[in-house]
């Protein structure tokens, strides 16, 4: 279900063209639930594709097959710094339903529905966050990745900062590896999932003074050295996915 997308300008309009290969796959009864299903059917080009939710309703998603060899990632959220104060990106947790432009995935202001995120979560072993993905080739700087089985980001952590294991984290060149913990905040109607620089009792110490936020919320402060928050045009992404077996 390959979809090519033309964006005539930044505010307007998505024009969709369904390819003959997508129609062919549809005739064969191909029902992809996440981007991981497409490479299993010989599709490896990063682009916009059709997925199907738990009600078998078709929707469009952005699939990344190329930034990490052997992996497939479905974009769940993306927003630019100019959108940081919208509740969808600032205060609504992953477990709250706060869709934004969910029918038209884009880099500047996009969040999928909770129901569809749950479907993607059920198909995905990993999550990751990236910065300005559409502008900068992925080099694992200002990047984080974890396993749902070790840290389920689709839970609320009401007590404030929580040290949780990550598989890899790089913030401004400061790196921690497998099963090191980083300090996360995620409280309903208060904080979207993020790391801030004030947490000092986890393995990974993203220290900064004054306090700044990484990968979300951005209410405490913004780092001019972090690729998600340097300018109004920088973006933050969260993805669900995994590695082809």
Rounded distance between C-alpha atoms, residue 107 and residue 186, angstroms: 22
pLDDT averaged over the chain? Answer: 88
Contact 142, 226 (CB under 8 A): yes
pLDDT digit string, tens, across residues 45-55: 999 999 999 99
Sign of CA dihedral 173, 243, 98, 162: negative
Cα 88 to Cα 118: distance, rounded to the nearest angstrom: 17
Which position has the higher pLDDT, 210 or 29? 210
Say what the pLDDT of residue 156 is. 72
User: Model's pTM, two decimal places?
Assistant: 0.89
Backbone region of residue 120 per phi and psi (left: phi > 0; alpha: psi in -120 to 50; beta: other values): alpha
pLDDT band at 85 (very low <50, low <70, confident <90, very high): very high
Using 50, 70 and 90 to split pLDDT, how confident is the model at 15?
A: very low
pLDDT surpassing 80 at residue 89: yes
Over residues 177-228, the pLDDT tens digits come to 988 999 999 999 999 999 999 988 899 998 777 899 999 999 999 999 999 9
Distances (CA, A) of 223 to 19, 71, 214: 42, 29, 8
User: What is the C-alpha to C-alpha distance for residues 227 and 139, in angstroms, rounded to an integer?
Assistant: 12
How confident is residue 159, by pLDDT bands cut at 50, 70 and 90? low
């Amino acid at each position: 279900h390959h979809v090519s997308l033309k964006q005539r300008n930044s505010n307007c309009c998505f024009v969709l063209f369904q390819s003959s290969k997508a129609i062919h796959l549809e005739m064969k009864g191909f029902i992809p639930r996440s981007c991981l299903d497409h490479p299993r059917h010989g599709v490896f080009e990063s682009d916009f594709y059709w997925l199907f939710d738990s009600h078998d309703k078709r929707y469009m998603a952005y699939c990344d097959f190329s930034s990490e060899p052997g992996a497939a990632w479905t974009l769940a959220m993306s927003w630019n710094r100019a959108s940081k104060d919208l509740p969808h990106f600032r205060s609504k947790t992953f477990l709250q339903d706060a869709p934004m432009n969910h029918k038209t995935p884009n880099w500047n202001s996009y969040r999928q529905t909770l129901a569809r995120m749950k479907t993607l979560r059920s198909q995905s072993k990993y999550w990751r966050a990236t910065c300005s993905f559409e502008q900068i080739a992925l080099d694992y700087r200002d990047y984080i990745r974890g396993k749902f089985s070790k840290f389920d980001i689709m839970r609320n952590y009401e007590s404030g900062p929580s040290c949780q294991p990550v598989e890899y984290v790089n913030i401004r060149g400061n790196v921690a590896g497998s099963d090191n913990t980083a300090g996360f905040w995620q409280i309903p109607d208060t904080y979207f999932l993020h790391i801030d620089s004030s947490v000092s009792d986890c393995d990974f110490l993203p220290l900064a003074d004054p306090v700044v936020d990484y990968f979300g919320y951005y209410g405490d402060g913004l780092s001019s050295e972090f690729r998600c928050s340097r300018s109004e045009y920088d973006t933050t992404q969260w993805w669900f996915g995994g590695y082809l077996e």
